Amino acid sequence: MDKFERLKELKKLFDEGIITRDEFNKEKLKTLEDTDTERPANSSNENDIPTTKKNWRLSKKIIWFALILILVLLAILFKLTSGFKMLQSENTSKSTSPFVNVYFQEDEVFPVHLYYLKNTKQGLMDLTITNPALETKTLLVTYGFAEFGGLDTLSVHVDGGSVKKISITPYSGKFKGMLSPAFVTLLVKVSNEQNKDIYSETWSLKVNPYDEIPWKIKNRDYAKLIASWVTPQNELVEALIRKAKVKIGGNILPVDKMNEEDFRKLVKAIFNTVKDERFTYINNKISFGEGYAQRVRMPFLTIKTKSANSLDGSVLLASLFENAGLRPYIVLLAEHAIVGVARPNQENDKIYIETTLLGRSTIESIFSLESTFSAATKSGKEAYNTAYSNSVNQQGGIFEVIDIHKARQEGVLPLE
C-alpha cells in the first residue's frame, strides 16, 4: 500500500472512531516520513516532470537569453559603428580642408622696396596652400596693414590633391605721408568658400619713411631702387622742361635724330634751367652699404625748396633727362653722387655732371672764366674717371652706376 492509500485508510479509521486523534496524527506523520519516494503520476513536483519536457523548457530559456544577448550586442555594435563613422566623417572633413603655411621673416620694411616687389610680383611673403580634397577649392586671401585700411584681396583656385604657392606684397598709398618710422600691423588671412577663416595671422612691423632708400637688404644690393626717385612725369619737372625748350628755340629734336652737338645743347639747356632756379647746395654726406639707408628728396620737393645735396640734384637732373627722352645714369661714389646722361643707343657717348655746382654763383663763373655747365661736366668726368680707375685697380671706394633705363626694365618704376 502506498502512502496515499495508507493516509486514506487512517482517515477512515479516525472517522469511524476506531483510532483517536493522537493515534491518527502519529500514524500520519509516520506515513509521511516514510522513505518511499514514489508519488502519484499527476504530482506537480518539478522533479517528477519527464526529462524531455524539462530539457525543452531549459532550451527555450537558453534561446531567449541568447536572443536577448545578441540584440544587446547588436545595439552596442551599432552604436560603436555609428560613432566611428561620425568620428571618421569629422576627421575626413578636417583632413579635406585646405591648410596654409606662410614664410615670412621680416621685422622692418621700406616702402620703396615694397613698391618694387609689388610691381615685379616677387612677393614679400610666400604662402603655401595645400588642398587634400579631391575637388578644386576657391580661397580668398586678404592681406594688408590694419592701421591703413583698404586691404588687398586675392582669389586663389587650388586643384584637388595639389599644392599651390603664391607670393604677396602688402602696400599702401598712405605710405606717402610717412616722414618718420612707424610700427604697423600686417594682417594675412585665408577664407574658404563658406567665408570661414582657415588661416589668420598678424605681425608687427617697422615701416621706415617713404623717402628712405635701403642700399642693401640682407646683403643684397638694392641701389637700383634710386630709379624710383627719378620721376619724369611730375608736373614741376614738366614745367622745367618747358623752360628748357625755350632756351633751345622752343623745340626738342627726336633723340634718334640728334647729333652730338644737338645732344650737348639740350643737356646744357636743362642744366642751366635748373641753375636759374638758384638752388642751394646742401653739403651732407651719403652712407652706402648694408645697414645704411639714405633720405632722398623727391624732385618736386627739391624744386619747391630749391635746395639739394649731390644725390637730390642727380635725381632731379635724371628726371629731366628721362622726360626729354635721354638715357640718364646715377653714379654712386664715396659719400657722393653725380649724374650721367647719354642718347639712346649711344651709351658710349656720356656726359657726367657734378650737380653740386648747380648752386654756383654767376660771379664765380665770371672770375673763373669758365661757365658753370663746363665746370660741372669737367668736374663730373674727373670724378667718374677717378672712381672707375680705383674700381678697376681694386683700390677700394664706392663706385656703382645705376642705368635708369635698365632699372625700368627690371621693374623699378617711379614712385610718382
Q: From the CB of residue 338, how many other CB atoms can be counted at a distance below 10 Å? A: 28
pLDDT at 325 over 60: yes
For strand 346-353 and strand 336-343, is the pairing parallel, antiparallel, or unpaired? antiparallel
Q: Determine contact, residues 28/20, Cβ cutoff 8 Å.
A: no
Q: Determine contact, residues 350/340, Cβ cutoff 8 Å.
A: yes
Q: From the CB of residue 346, how many other CB atoms can be counted at a distance below 10 Å? A: 15
pLDDT tens figures, 203-250: 999 999 999 999 999 889 999 999 999 999 999 999 999 999 999 887
Q: How far is CA 337 from the centre of its chain?
A: 36
> Cell match 552596442: residue?
76
Q: From the CB of residue 301, how many other CB atoms can be counted at a distance below 10 Å? A: 15
pLDDT at 382 over 50: yes
Task: Note the pLDDT of residue 45.
Answer: 46
Within 13 Å and on the Cβ side, how many CA atoms surround 152?
Answer: 13
Q: Determine contact, residues 105/401, Cβ cutoff 8 Å.
A: no
User: Minimal CA–CA distance to 307: which of 329, 286, 337, 280?
Assistant: 280
Task: Note the pLDDT of residue 5.
Answer: 75
pLDDT at 92 over 50: no
For the chain, the average pLDDT equals: 86
Which of 22-36, 145-159, 218-232, 401-415 has the weakest average pLDDT? Answer: 22-36
pLDDT at 93 over 60: no
pLDDT winner (highest mean) among 149-153, 166-170, 177-181: 166-170
pLDDT at 269 over 90: yes
Tell if the pTM clears 0.85, that is, is over it: no
pLDDT tens figures, 247-261: 988 777 788 888 999
Q: Determine contact, residues 293/259, Cβ cutoff 8 Å.
A: no
At 18, phi and psi to the nearest 5? Answer: -75, -35
Rounded Cα gap, residues 401 and 388, in angstroms: 10
Calculate what percentage of the chain has a pLDDT beyond 70: 88
Find the mean pLDDT for residues 34-44.
48
Task: Note the pLDDT of residue 44.
Answer: 45
User: Which residues contact residue 68 at a Cβ distance below 8 angstroms, ignoring those fewer than 6 apart?
Assistant: none
Which of 6-20, 57-71, 342-356, 389-403 has the weakest average pLDDT? Answer: 6-20
pLDDT range class, residue 48, cuts 50, 70, 90: very low
Rounded Cα gap, residues 403 and 74, in angstroms: 82
User: Minimal CA–CA distance to 230: which of 108, 413, 401, 52?
Assistant: 413
Task: Note the pLDDT of residue 289.
Answer: 67
Rounded Cα gap, residues 247 and 252, in angstroms: 10
At 366, phi and psi to the nearest 5? Answer: -65, -45
**What's the CATH number of domain 212-409, 3.40.1620, 3.10.620, 1.10.3470, 3.40.50?**
3.10.620
Find the mean pLDDT for residues 289-298.
84
Calculate what percentage of the chain has a pLDDT beyond 90: 57
Task: Note the pLDDT of residue 50.
Answer: 55
User: Which residues contact residue 211 at a Cβ distance below 8 angstroms, ignoring those fewer than 6 apart?
Assistant: 179, 295, 296, 297, 298
pLDDT at 385 over 90: yes
CATH 2.60.40 fits 99-207, yes or no: yes
For strand 399-403 and strand 346-353, is the pairing parallel, antiparallel, or unpaired? unpaired
Rounded Cα gap, residues 99 and 127, in angstroms: 10
